Amino acid sequence: MIGPRIEQPQLREITEVISEAPGVKTLVIRHSTAYKPGQFFMIWLPGVGEKPFSLSHHFEGEVGITVKERGPFTHALFSLTPGSAIGLRGPYGNGFSVVERSRRACVVAGGIGIVPLAALIDRLQQPLVIYGARSQDLLIFRNRFPEVSFATDDGSEGFHGSAVEAFRSLLDPKATDVVYTCGPEPMMRQVFDICEAHHLPCQAALERYIKCGIGICGQCCCDGYLVCRDGPVFSSSLLRQLSDFGRSARLRDGRVTTIEDYASWRES
Partner 1 sequence: MDLSIDLCGIKLPNPTILASGVLGVSRCSLARVASCGAGAVTTKSISLEPRSGHDNPCVVTYEAGMLNAMGYPNPGAEAAREEFAAVDQLPVPVIASAVGTEPEEFAAVAEILTALPFAATEIPVSCPHTPGFGLMGGHASTDAIRRITSLVRDKTKLPLFVKLPAGGPEVVDLAKAARDGGADGITAVNTIGPGMVINIEAARPVLGFKKGGVSGPALRPVAVRCVYDIYEAVDLPIIGVGGITTGRDAIEMMMAGARAVGIGSAVYYRGMDVFSEVCREIRTWMEDHGYESLTEIVGAAHQ
Ligand X SMILES: Cc1cc2nc3c(=O)[nH]c(=O)nc-3n(C[C@H](O)[C@H](O)[C@H](O)COP(=O)(O)OP(=O)(O)OC[C@H]3O[C@@H](n4cnc5c(N)ncnc54)[C@H](O)[C@@H]3O)c2cc1C
Ligand Y SMILES: Cc1cc2nc3c(=O)[nH]c(=O)nc-3n(C[C@H](O)[C@H](O)[C@H](O)COP(=O)(O)O)c2cc1C
209-238 residues near ligand Y, rule: CB under 6 A: 216-217
**Residue 211 engages ligand FES in binding (rule: CB under 6 A):** yes
1 makes contact, choosing from a copy of itself, ligand X, ligand FES, none, with CB < 5 to 8 Å by partner type, with a copy of itself
Tally of CB atoms within 10 A around 246? 23
| Residues 6+ away with beta carbon under 8 Å from 142 | none
CB-neighbour burial class of residue 161 (10 A; exposed 0-12, middle 13-18, buried 19+) = middle
**Residue 46 engages ligand X in binding (rule: CB under 6 A):** no
146 close to 134: Cβ distance less than 8 angstroms: no
6-65 residues near a copy of itself, rule: CB under 8 A: 6
Q: What are the binding residues for [2Fe-2S] cluster? A: 212, 217, 220, 228
| Residues 6+ away with beta carbon under 8 Å from 241 | 223
Amino acid present at 157: E
**Residue 265 engages ligand X in binding (rule: CB under 6 A):** yes
Q: What are phi and psi of 258, to 5 degrees?
A: -70, 155
**Residue 17 engages ligand Y in binding (rule: CB under 6 A):** no
| Residues 6+ away with beta carbon under 8 Å from 249 | 185, 208, 209, 222, 256, 257, 259, 262, 263
185 close to 193: Cβ distance less than 8 angstroms: no
For ligand X, what does the binding mask look like between residues 194 and 223, x meaning CB under 6 A?
Answer: -------------x-xx-------------
Interface pick for ligand FES out of 21, 182, 228, 259 (rule CB under 6 A): 228
**Residue 223 engages partner 1 in binding (rule: CB under 8 A):** yes
Residue 96 carries which DSSP code? -
Interface pick for a copy of itself out of 1, 2, 34, 99 (rule CB under 8 A): 1
User: Which parts of this chain interact with partner 1 (CB under 8 A)?
Assistant: 1-11, 42, 44, 46-47, 49-51, 85, 87, 211-219, 221, 223-226, 229, 250-256
By CB under 6 A, name the binding residues for ligand Y. Answer: 216-217
Positions in the binding site for ligand X (CB under 6 A): 40, 51-54, 65-68, 70-74, 112, 115, 207, 209-210, 232, 262, 265
